[in-house]
Chains A and B, each alone.
Chain A
Amino acid sequence: GAVVSQHPSRVICKSGTSVKIECRSLDFQATTMFWYRQFPKQSLMLMATSNEGSKATYEQGVEKDKFLINHASLTLSTLTVTSAHPEDSSFYICSALRTGNTEAFFGQGTRLTVV
């Protein structure tokens, strides 16, 4: 149990376009999901906390208008990178917190390349 799936696993997009990344908890309900960003050879940096049915909470320095987060159901959160630029190229990882639990489960990540 406790499987989190991200889609797509890899995406290449042109500069100026928008990209949507999905994070699904397949076998449990997740009131809260988290979005992280990982640069090569670096650690994961928390971008935002996504709560079902309410606005996401963004970490300091993360542009909420650029990284749109929607958590419309207990099993799905989406991250949309709007007007992507090459510097947005990174590995984006989500995690989902099972309702009533304190352990988060991670998706496999999405490699975004903006050309």
Chain B
Amino acid sequence: AQSVSQHNHHVILSEAASLELGCNYSYGGTVNLFWYVQYPGQHLQLLLKYFSGDPLVKGIKGFEAEFIKSKFSFNLRKPSVQWSDTAEYFCAVNVYNQGGKLIFGQGTELSVKP
């Protein structure tokens, strides 16, 4: 069965620090990859997605992610975090041709200290 693993359960950073959240998936076929953010008390929002093409994907709010097929990874990065980035971050995988069904990682809680 497909699975998604996020390496960090809770990350604490100071403002202006750089961020990298790891995500690995297990599936040998074609996948679509997503990062979602969930701010406290709010619903999931899409940060960025990768379907095909350039493996370096830029999303909203200065986030980017790089798809490395050989490593089955899709790590999320931001050069300089802000206090407002405090949230839960979820990596998700959609197996191609399984019509929007998402498999989520366990999530990473990011706390940014002002």
Contact = CB atoms under 8 A, between A and B. Distances in A.
Interface string A27-64: 00000101010000111111001000000000000000
Interface stretch (B13-21, B42-50, B53-61, B63-71): B42-50
Contacts of A45: 104
A34 to B, nearest CB: 6
B107 A42 contact: yes
A108 B42 CA distance: 7
A76 B65 CA distance: 33
Interface of B: 32, 36, 42-46, 49, 51, 90, 94, 99-107, 109
Given A49-B101, A106-B36, 16 more contacts: A34-B100, A43-B90, A43-B105, A44-B44, A44-B102, A44-B104, A46-B102, A49-B99, A95-B102, A97-B100, A102-B99, A102-B100, A103-B49, A106-B43, A106-B44, A107-B43
A81 interface: no
25 contacts: A32-B100, A34-B100, A41-B107, A41-B109, A42-B106, A42-B107, A43-B90, A43-B107, A44-B44, A44-B104, A46-B101, A46-B102, A49-B99, A95-B100, A97-B99, A97-B100, A101-B100, A102-B99, A103-B46, A103-B100, A106-B36, A106-B44, A107-B43, A108-B42, A108-B43
A104 B36 CA distance: 11
A107 B45 CA distance: 10
Nearest to A103: B49
Interface in A81-112: 93, 95, 97, 101-104, 106-109
Contacts of A108: 42-43
Given A43-B107, A102-B51, A102-B94, A93 B102 contact: no
Given A34-B102, A42-B106, A97-B100, A102 B43 contact: no
